[in-house]
Amino acid sequence: MIPTKTVEELIAKHSNLEKELSTSDIDKKLFAEKSKEYSDINEIIDIAKKYISFENDKKDLEKFLEDQSTDEELKKMAEIELTELKTQYETNEKILKLFLLPKDEADKKNAIIEIRAGTGGLEASLFASDLFKMYEKVSHKKKWSLELISISRSDAGGLKEVIASIKGTNIYSTLKYESGVHRVQRVPDTETQGRVHTSAATVAVLPEVEEVDLKINDSDLRIDVFRAGGPGGQSVNTTDSAVRITHIPTGLSVSQQDEKSQHKNKAKGMKILRARLYELERSRIDQERSKDRKTKIGTGDRSERIRTYNFPQGRVTDHRINLTLHKLDEFLEGEAFDEMIESLTLQAQEESLENLK
């Protein structure tokens, strides 16, 4: 049960924000922040008020039912109304609990997605390419902007590694449950006897952070420059444009050579490094908080096998929530992607509510 005081404070906050926003002497930046906060609470305010008025409404109906002079027909109507009131109260309580859950500050950020071929040789690189194409299609359907940061291709035409930035609305909250090991079961084109092979690719989704979100001291960085190399060791650049950035305290290292400009390679490398450092700190804090908390859905363990794509049976299975969709082709086209994400989000919310008890 949510404390009445908590909901009353939410209603009072809505009222105060309304008064503040109606004045003309509010700072522009503050106005934008408070407008967003007001808009968020505004979506829940009617439910909050109904939640507060429940006890009085219930007492009124019970008093009406206890009155011996009440007509039987009216009593029946009141009983139905009381049942509906209690049901609505339970629904409102769940909605309010979800609203009051601690917000993940990264949810509204853009994301950096890293996909790497895992076990399975060339077939794994082809699967990594399939996954990247799937995220490209999802981005296109949602009108997100996807920008390549770096890409490394395999001999088979697949991808050894690809890193991209995805910008739009609530990107990280949508994609964060994609982090982990994705496994594929299918017959490779090179397989002459029709045997099903299993291979894998890893996906890491990191919130994209700005310099204001994470301060990195220049003294903590070692920056090495070198000449970019192409396939087979051939030189693709006559200047030392490739950059390797090492964060000395953590040992994290990022290499970038896709651009011909050293400056651009450094900027892209710093973008990746900031995201990885930010996620490293978030994971540390989350581990401390979750010592006594049971959860099926994690967003940090990239060694966890989260999903299997079975081509012979045309199914995709998410092992964290035991959900199987028998529409693999649609899923890879980005069509059934939302169905999976909504189920994962719902499970995560239910776990969060359970942990509040």
Task: Give the model's confidence band at 107: pLDDT under 50 very low, under 70 low, under 90 confident, else very high.
Answer: confident
**Judgement on whether residues 352 and 204 belong to the same structural domain of the protein:** yes
Q: Which residue, among 160, 90, 149, 91, has the nearest Cα to 127 in the 3D structure?
A: 160
Q: Which of 261, 287, 313 is the last residue of a domain?
A: 287
**Judgement on whether residues 93 and 75 belong to the same structural domain of the protein:** yes
- 268-299 pLDDT per residue, tens: 999 999 999 988 888 777 776 555 455 556 54
Per the domain annotation, does 135 fall within a domain?
A: yes
Do residues 318 and 344 make contact, with C-beta atoms less than 8 angstroms apart?
yes
**Judgement on whether residues 65 and 142 belong to the same structural domain of the protein:** no
**Judgement on whether residues 203 and 313 belong to the same structural domain of the protein:** yes
Per the domain annotation, does 175 fall within a domain?
A: yes
For tokens 């001999």, the residue is 155
Which pLDDT value is given to residue 281? Answer: 84
Q: What is the CATH number for 332?
A: 3.30.70.1660
Where do runs of H (alpha helix) occur along the chain?
Answer: 4-21, 28-42, 45-66, 72-100, 121-141, 171-175, 262-289, 328-332, 337-356
Per the domain annotation, does 238 fall within a domain?
A: yes
Which pLDDT value is given to residue 112? Answer: 95
**Judgement on whether residues 240 and 321 belong to the same structural domain of the protein:** no
Beta-carbon count within 10 A of 320 CB: 19
Which pLDDT value is given to residue 295? Answer: 57
State what percent of residues in the chain have pLDDT above 90.
54
- 9-26 pLDDT per residue, tens: 999 999 999 998 888 778
**Judgement on whether residues 15 and 65 belong to the same structural domain of the protein:** yes
Q: Which of 50-59, 86-95, 292-301, 340-349 has the lowest mean pLDDT?
A: 292-301
Which pLDDT value is given to residue 261? Answer: 87
Per the domain annotation, does 123 fall within a domain?
A: yes
Do residues 166 and 110 make contact, with C-beta atoms less than 8 angstroms apart?
yes
* Token code pair at residue 159: 């991808």
Report the first-to-last Cα separation within the chain, whole angstroms.
9
Provide the domain limits for residue 269. Answer: 218-287
Residues 6 or more apart whose Cβ sits within 8 Å of residue 326: 313, 314, 315
Per the domain annotation, does 310 fall within a domain?
A: yes
Which pLDDT value is given to residue 31? Answer: 86
Do residues 345 and 149 make contact, with C-beta atoms less than 8 angstroms apart?
no
**Judgement on whether residues 36 and 87 belong to the same structural domain of the protein:** yes
Pairwise pLDDT comparison (289 vs 339), residue with the higher score: 339
Output the pTM of the full model.
0.73
In whole numbers, what is the pLDDT of the chain averaged over residues?
87
**Judgement on whether residues 195 and 85 belong to the same structural domain of the protein:** no
The pLDDT of 210-232, averaged and rounded, is: 78
Structural domains of the chain, count: 3
**Judgement on whether residues 167 and 69 belong to the same structural domain of the protein:** no
**Judgement on whether residues 13 and 141 belong to the same structural domain of the protein:** no
Per the domain annotation, does 105 fall within a domain?
A: no
Which pLDDT value is given to residue 308? Answer: 97
The pLDDT of 84-95, averaged and rounded, is: 92
**Three-state secondary structure string covering 76-145:** HHHHHHHHHHHHHHHHHHHHHHHHHCCCCCCCCCCEEEEEEECCCHHHHHHHHHHHHHHHHHHHHHCCCE
The pLDDT of 150-154, averaged and rounded, is: 92
Q: What is the CATH number for 261?
A: 3.30.160.20
Do residues 346 and 338 make contact, with C-beta atoms less than 8 angstroms apart?
no
Q: Which of 258, 287, 316 is the last residue of a domain?
A: 287
State what percent of residues in the chain have pLDDT above 70.
90
pLDDT at position 302 over 60: no
**Judgement on whether residues 281 and 345 belong to the same structural domain of the protein:** no
Q: Which of 50, 65, 100 is the last residue of a domain?
A: 100
Per the domain annotation, does 292 fall within a domain?
A: no
**Judgement on whether residues 202 and 343 belong to the same structural domain of the protein:** yes
Per the domain annotation, does 142 fall within a domain?
A: yes
